[in-house]
Structure 1
Amino acid sequence: MPFDAPQSGRRGRQAKCALAAALLCLTTGLSAAPPAGDVDFMNKAAQAGQMEIDASKLAETKASSATVKRFAGQMLQDHRAAAEDLKRLANAKGVQLPTTPSPADQKKLEAMGALQGASFDKQYAEEVGVKAHNEAVALFRKAASDARANDVRDFAKKTLTTLEHHLESARKMASEVAR
């Protein structure tokens, strides 16, 4: 009997160690979820990018200005590429991104869809070119400094450069179509 007593104590310690290891695995798994601020950024970036893609598709058929059509073509190319990068990043983190613009942006798109020619050009240049890019630059600039995950911060920094260039081009376009 004296030999059995220490053995059951050892089993108890082994069971406690196994339980501690299981709890550690569970809590580590829970902490692997991306921080809420990073997820919020990814969701907003996805919606904003989709709005620009949808508006730029409209511009292909509704714009009358060659400058607006060129800008829209560049937006389609760049925002589709950024959307793919964002999708890969989100998938790696287990984040399901929205696939449509925000409800407010959806209303703007519907209103823009009713326009044609010069009136479309002006609205697109202001809403999508200048305003949306001002908002996107602010969103990405904040994420480039505040995102907790390195890969999210890197994505924001990389994309921010392109968005700043878009904003500069958008201001020129808006100035041209306002005449």
Structure 2
Amino acid sequence: MISLSKQVAMLSLAGAMAFSGALYAQADSAAMAAGGDAQFVVKASAAGDTEVIASRLAAANAQSAKVKTFAATMVRDHTAANDKLRTIAQKNGFTMAGAATVEQQPDLMKLQSLHGADFDKAYTAMMQKDHQDAVALFNNESSSGQNAALKTFAAQTLPTLQHHLSMAQAL
């Protein structure tokens, strides 16, 4: 049986994810209309938020010390990257997603219900896929973006994302 405090936490996350999904869809629609760099900002910020949310769940639900250490690195690095991206976005008039991706909300809900080795397996798979996608996204922006600040940000962040992918694959 799930404790009352855990039920409240799960309902809070579910409500936040539903609200954030609406925010993401609104930001993504505006970015699609603007194209290129604006879409990169939405996708990159949403991906960073997803990594942070999933990795905070790992602090409570993971069994493996390696997974917990990796998760702490993800929270630190993706929070810092999103802070840098936020500064660039604000200076250049781009809108951040402000939420996890709509596509990943079911994965986050699944992670919330898992514990121990089951959590570790699902979280590791999610981190591998997410970082493959992030490497592709940042590689594309660093080579094809129009905004110089975003191109520089993507190029500077890319090695960290590649390292995260290697770390996730080694878990």
**TM-score normalised by L of structure 1:** 0.76
For residues 102 and 62 of structure 1, the distance between their equivalents in structure 2, rounded to whole angstroms, comes to 21
Distance in 1, Cα, partners of 2:93 & 2:147: 14
- The structure 1 residue matched to 2:141, chosen from 140, 143, 147, is 143
What are the within-5 Å matches in structure 2 for residues 1-179 of structure 1?
36-128=35-127, 130-173=128-171
Deviation of residue 95 (structure 1)?
1.6
Q: Identity over aligned residues, as a percent?
A: 39
User: Where has structure 1 moved over 4 Å in runs of 4 or more?
Assistant: none
Deviation at 1:36, TM superposition (A): 2.4
Aligned residue pair count: 138
RMSD: 0.8
In the alignment, the residues of structure 1 paired with residue 90 and residue 77 of structure 2 have an alpha-carbon distance, to the nearest angstrom, of 20
TM-score (norm 2): 0.79
Gaps of 5+ in 2: 1-33
- Return the alpha-carbon distance in structure 2 between the equivalents of residues 141 and 98 of structure 1: 20
Report which of the two structures shows the higher radius of gyration computed on alpha carbons: 1
**How far 1:38 sits from its partner (Å)?**
0.3
